[in-house]
Amino acid sequence: MALPYLEAVLCKSPPLLSWCSSRSLDPFGVSGLGFMILMYIFETYLDIRQHRALKLPTLPKPLVGVISDEKFKRSRDYSLDKSYFHFVHEAVTILMDTTILYYKVLPWFWKRSGELVTKVGLNAENEIIHTLAFLAGAMVWSQITDLPFSLYSTFVIEARHGFNKQTIWLFIRDMVKGILLSMILGPPIVAAIIYIVQIGGPYLAIYLWGFMFVLALLMMTIYPIVIAPLFNKFTPLPEGVLREKIEKLAASLKFPLKKLFVVDGSTRSSHSNAYMYGFFKNKRIVLYDTLIQQCSNEDEIVSVIAHELGHWKLNHTVYSFIAVQHTIIPLQHLLSFCLNLVSRAFEFQADAFAKNLGYAPQLRAALVKLQEENLSAMNTDPWYSAYHYSHPPLVERLQALEDAASKKED
């Protein structure tokens, strides 16, 4: 579990916003509000296209005979449920955001938060203290407004389709831990950003990018070691055939595998995944227990790891990491689209890497199995996919594997 509340504070109500508000400026204005509404209309159009694709009653031709009819029906029902929910969620969100911006609620709340700071005996002229008070209120608001949607998504939609494994108490415990972590990590990060804004001058953008780069490195270091274990249990993968095959593959690629873990993802969801992390000679691989349960044999699991190792071998992680992550809102949409294009290209390359290691049949089987078990959308609109998906649809990945195999045979 990530830090949703810290993310909400830093992304939905960035410190730069409060810094502008403190100078009686409107950082959005009519043009910003208009852009937000136009983006909502454009993205809703894409959502409608995707919804129509999801309602198609038959599988794409390349998946006929590959995906069972029963899995397709379940996937279709799950995807449509999520799509309907998404329409409602986005409509409520744009309504709230538009109201907040149109009636200039943020500058008003900035003023009120300053008054509150003064009442408790602190110095409201101190921008760091003032901003922290402002963002604390924003975090409370974000928590209140997001909670009904999180509860419905987890305990209605995910539960209805057999994915949710959480109890309400585990959900509340995770939420409380997330809030406490935000309270611990948020203030020093916000204080540092405001200080950089104050002294940045003409090099502000460079300083902010450098700070966020260092912060990302730090979070990538401490998150899996300190934060992630607060939410999940990580245990070493037991000795056996699977461990031997993964270690042999890693050694053949000179991947400096330090530890190999299994995480109890099944305590919250039956969705499956695998990932790796760590710097330099301290690499670790994590398998979800659900991935191990869902794959038919060890080679299918190893083929998934081969794909992930392809990302490492081809330096995809480094390229993605150094990309600019934080920019002004109009450019953020374009940047996100461009990064998705790059990410999809990386996925094809990682698939080809696993194929070249001899795992093409196993990877195809694993991709199909993961698509089925996660009830991922089988029919996708090409425009929606291009704009939103960081991973290519299953049809395209299977076709790319087959094309690569055909070229090799020729």
pLDDT in tens, 128-139: 888 889 888 988
Q: What is the pLDDT at residue 197?
A: 84
Q: Where is the binding site, in residues?
A: 307, 311, 347
Q: What is the pLDDT at residue 323?
A: 62
Catalytic residue among 351, 372, 381, 396: 351
Q: What is the pLDDT at residue 29?
A: 57
Q: What is the mean pLDDT of the chain?
A: 84
Please state, in angstroms and rounded to a whole number, the distance separating the CA atoms of residues 237 and 134. 45
Active site residue 372: no
Active site residue 69: no
Name the pairing type of β-strands 257-263 and 283-288.
Answer: parallel
Mean pLDDT within 101-117: 87
Catalytic residue among 127, 300, 308, 396: 308
Please state, in angstroms and rounded to a whole number, the distance separating the CA atoms of residues 109 and 346. 44
Look at residue 12 and tell me whether its pLDDT is greater than 60: no
Q: What is the pLDDT at residue 330?
A: 57
Look at residue 148 and tell me whether its pLDDT is greater than 60: yes
Q: Where is the binding site for Zn(2+), in residues?
A: 307, 311, 347
Per-residue pLDDT reduced to its tens digit, 276-327? 887 777 788 999 998 888 887 889 999 999 998 998 888 887 777 666 754 4
Look at residue 176 and tell me whether its pLDDT is greater than 90: yes
The pLDDT-based confidence of 384 (bands split at 50, 70, 90) is: very high
Write the secondary structure of the chain as one string of H (helix), E (strand) and C (coil): CCCHHHHHHHHHCCHHHHHHHCCCCCCCHHHHHHHHHHHHHHHHHHHHHHHHHHCCCCCCHHHECCECHHHHHHHHHHHHHHHHHHHHHHHHHHHHHHHHHHCCHHHHHHHHHHHHHHHCCCCCCCHHHHHHHHHHHHHHHHHHHHHHHHHHHHHHHHHHCCCECCCHHHHHHHHHHHHHHHHHHHHHHHHHHHHHHHHHHHHHHHHHHHHHHHHHHHHHHHHHHHHHHHCCCEEECCCCHHHHHHHHHHHHCCCCEEEEEEECHHHCECCCCEEEECCCCCEEEEEEHHHHHHCCCHHHHHHHHHHHHHHHHCCHHHHHHCCCCCCCHHHHHHHHHHHHHHHHHHHHHHHHHHHHHHHHHHHHHHHHHHHHHCCCCCCCCHHHHHHHCCCCCHHHHHHHHHHHHHHHHC
- Give the residue with greater pLDDT, 221 vs 398: 398
